[in-house]
Amino acid sequence: MWSCQAPPPCTQHQVSAHLHTQPPDDGCDGVRASRRADEKEVREESEEERIWNLLKEQKLREERRQNEQKALERERRKLEKLDRERQIIKESFKTEMEKELEVSAQEMKDKSVCGDYALKKYMHITQKDQDLKKVDKVLMLWTSGLYVRV
């Protein structure tokens, strides 16, 4: 006679294989119904496990994305800081160069003024020397009585 006993526990692979095959009609509808319920439960557990795995993967991807976003933000702030420092140095250098240019221009002006002044002074001294020579000549001629207006 037919006995209606529960089959031994199956692995997930065996359950999948049983799902795709038709069990023989042995008159044990209760066992088959129980088996189908077990198979359905295994499928549901498998589906639930797959969903959990997908959720875990999604959470990990989101965490990685957030970490990358934070790293990018830190790098952006560093670049902004370096750019501000570069601008400060650039402005400082520009100011320093302008001051140097002003000093150089003033030195050139002073040198040209000094040069002009020295030339004027030389010309003045030369003129006085010539005038003194003329006065000496006139005095010499006057005292000797030979003064003739030149």
Q: Report the chain's mean pLDDT, rounded to a whole number.
A: 77
141 within 8 A of 148, measured Cβ to Cβ: yes
Q: Summarize pLDDT for 12-58 with one digit per residue, the tens.
A: 555 555 555 555 555 556 666 677 777 777 777 788 888 999 999 99
Residues sharing a CB contact under 8 Å with residue 7, sequence separation 6 or more, in sequence order: 31, 35
For the record, the structure tokens of 84 come out as 């501000």
What is the mean pLDDT of the segment spanning 129-139?
81
- State the pLDDT at residue 128: 87
10 within 8 A of 18, measured Cβ to Cβ: yes
- State the pLDDT at residue 68: 96
| Cα–Cα distance measured from residue 11 to residue 7, given in angstroms and rounded to the nearest whole number | 12
